[in-house]
Amino acid sequence: MSVRVTVNGDAPYDVVIGRHLLGELPGMLGTGVRRVLVMHPASLSATGEAVREDLVAQGYEAFVVELPDAEEQKTAQVAAFCWQVLGQADFTRSDAIVSVGGGATTDLAGFVAATWLRGLRVVHMPTTLLAMVDAAVGGKTGINTAEGKNLVGAFHPPAGVLCDLAALESLDRWDLVAGMAEVVKTGFIADERILELVEAHADDLRGWKGPDATDETWAVLAELVERSVRVKARVVGEDLTEQGLREILNYGHTLGHAIELTERYQWRHGAAVAVGMVFAAELARLGGKLDDAVVDRHREILTSLGLPTSYRGDRWDKLLGAMRRDKKTRGDLLRFVVLDDVARPTRLEGPDPTLLAAAYAEVSKEPPTGNAEVKVQLGL
Ligand SMILES: NC(=O)c1ccc[n+]([C@@H]2O[C@H](COP(=O)([O-])OP(=O)(O)OC[C@H]3O[C@@H](n4cnc5c(N)ncnc54)[C@H](O)[C@@H]3O)[C@@H](O)[C@H]2O)c1
């Protein structure tokens, strides 16, 4: 059975969550599409080819582009290669792109779709947990430059998103756990039931067994994806371009981005966001907003999933500098999303430097979680 979540906005679209969803693709592509370019990383060539063949069987002229893996594909060079393919195959504005892959692929394919002829339809078929609950929904697209991640991009909502849970069978434990950080984030900012589900099933999620996972674990994962997508759909449906409400999705991301940068992107995004959420919780606690119990809950849930909750004490100056330079900072003012309680997010602007340092001291009290240690924790 599949679930359909509608994302409102100027051009509403559906996110379908379930299994065997290829039959939904033509409906999402809409009328008038003749040519479709399927974009996937090399690791998903069998799935990408199956999608292409299905499209051909349905009467489309379908092409594939095999992309480099992970962040390697989010470059201007790869985008230019895709534009070349679209040009040589005479793609018009009424044709379409289908992405099959993780968040790196949905970001790149979305960007190529946004820019070719000023906007082609794109349908995302996310294959990682992170891409299902975050990257594929909401219309943010982008590529990296030598100066930093996601510096070039566009808002380009998809025509639809197909989350085929079966794709998660082949996902390794580390990728599932990294995606769980965004799921937990969604729980803290908007849906306590997510936290309860994770608390009850953390062992099974941390020890993700893919095809050997129990029916119960699959059911839990399906509910977590659905609940997370519902929250993201509601938030981006109200605020596509990050003028207000959408900012709550950045919970844990201000310090998280700074850690990623300091670690030269060797840490997974989810691991950095996990530490960032504990920092934000400590900021709120020390500022007198949040109860100790909710802060403890952050550490307990994240640790039960095998995610890190602390970082090196000797890195504060570097992290502070990186936060000040973050593209999401407005002017000189540091901004954080913090909680008054579970599901009650609010904004903290320009906090006192001593409060920031005190919150960081709480995050760096435990033995520092170095990169190698994080990998060990996550079973690599
Ligand atoms: N646009 C947004 O709103 C948004 C939000 C969050 C993250 N992102 C972007 O998403 C990217 C991270 O996404 P990600 O974690 O999915 O990374 P990813 O796309 O790099 O995928 C991680 C790895 O998993 C592999 N993979 C993908 N699907 C698989 C499957 N089903 N089975 C086995 N292996 C599979 C990929 O080939 C890759 O090696 C970053 O570039 C980030 O900037 C974008």
Is 20 considered catalytic here? no
Can you tell me whether residue 13 is helix, strand or coil?
A: strand
Domain span at 132: 3-170
Q: Is residue 374 within a helix (H) or strand (E), and if so which, with residue range?
A: helix 371-377
Residue 370's pLDDT is: 53
Q: Where a domain ends, among 114, 140, 170? A: 170
Dihedral sign of CA atoms 272, 275, 278, 283 in order: negative
User: Are 125 and 206 members of one domain?
Assistant: no
As a whole number of angstroms, the distance between CA 246 and CA 362 comes to 28
Residue 377's pLDDT is: 55
Q: From the candidates 206, 253, 297, 298, which is the catalytic residue?
A: 253
Residue 366's pLDDT is: 75
Q: Where a domain ends, among 155, 170, 185? A: 170
Dihedral sign of CA atoms 182, 188, 194, 195 in order: positive
- Tell me the DSSP string of 229-292: HHHHHHHHHH-TTSSSGGGGGGTTHHHHHHHHHHTTT-S-HHHHHHHHHHHHHHHHHHTT-S-H
Is 297 considered catalytic here? no
User: Are 183 and 330 members of one domain?
Assistant: yes
User: Are 180 and 160 members of one domain?
Assistant: no
Distance 46 CA to ligand 1 centre (A): 17
Q: What are phi and psi of 146, to 5 degrees?
A: -60, -25
- Write the CATH number for 116: 3.40.50.1970
Residue of 346, 337, 193 lying closest to 277 (CA atoms): 337
Distance 189 CA to ligand 1 centre (A): 22
Q: What is the pLDDT along the chain (380 residues), one digit of tens a residue?
A: 899 999 999 999 999 999 999 999 999 999 999 999 999 999 999 999 999 999 999 999 999 999 999 999 999 999 999 999 999 999 999 999 999 999 999 999 999 999 999 999 999 999 999 999 999 999 999 999 998 899 999 999 999 999 999 999 999 998 999 999 999 999 999 999 999 999 999 999 999 999 999 999 999 999 999 999 999 999 999 888 777 889 999 999 999 999 999 999 999 999 999 999 999 999 999 999 999 999 999 999 999 999 999 999 999 999 999 999 886 656 678 999 999 999 999 999 999 999 999 999 999 987 766 555 566 555 44
Is the separation of the CB atoms in 329 and 335 below 8 Å? yes
In eight-state DSSP terms, residue 133 is I
Residues having CB closer than 6 A to ligand 1 are 41, 43-44, 69-71, 74, 101-105, 107, 127-128, 130-131, 134-135, 138, 140, 150, 167, 170-171, 175
Could you list the residues known to form a binding site for Zn(2+), using ranges: 182, 253, 269
Residue of 145, 138, 142, 143 lying closest to 154 (CA atoms): 142
Write the residue with the smallest CA distance to atom 44 of ligand 1: 135
Residue 331's pLDDT is: 66
User: Are 232 and 86 members of one domain?
Assistant: no
Could you list the residues known to form a binding site for NAD(+), using ranges: 69-74, 103-107, 127-128, 140, 149
Contacts of residue 222, defined as CB under 8 A and 6 or more positions apart, other chains included, come to 3, 17, 165
Distance 137 CA to ligand 1 centre (A): 13
User: Are 150 and 244 members of one domain?
Assistant: no
Cα 34 from chain centroid (whole Å): 30
Tokens of 138: 């909401």
User: Are 164 and 192 members of one domain?
Assistant: no
Q: Which of 149, 175, 225 to mutate to test the pocket of ligand 1 (most atoms within 8 A of CB)?
A: 175
Max Cα separation, the chain? 64
Domains identified in the chain, total number: 2
- Write the CATH number for 305: 1.20.1090.10
Is 121 considered catalytic here? no
Contacts of residue 353, defined as CB under 8 A and 6 or more positions apart, other chains included, come to none
**Among the atoms of ligand 1, which is closest to the Cα of residue 182?**
6
User: Are 128 and 185 members of one domain?
Assistant: no
Write the residue with the smallest CA distance to atom 20 of ligand 1: 70
User: Are 201 and 286 members of one domain?
Assistant: yes
User: Are 133 and 202 members of one domain?
Assistant: no
User: Are 197 and 65 members of one domain?
Assistant: no
User: Are 210 and 123 members of one domain?
Assistant: no
Q: Which residue has the tokens 């566009």?
A: 154
Is 209 considered catalytic here? no
Is 246 considered catalytic here? yes
Q: Where a domain ends, among 170, 197, 212? A: 170
Is 232 considered catalytic here? yes
Residue 219's pLDDT is: 97
User: Are 136 and 282 members of one domain?
Assistant: no
Is 182 considered catalytic here? yes
**Among the atoms of ligand 1, which is closest to the Cα of residue 142?**
1
Q: Is residue 218 within a helix (H) or strand (E), and if so which, with residue range?
A: helix 215-238
Is the separation of the CB atoms in 96 and 51 below 8 Å? no
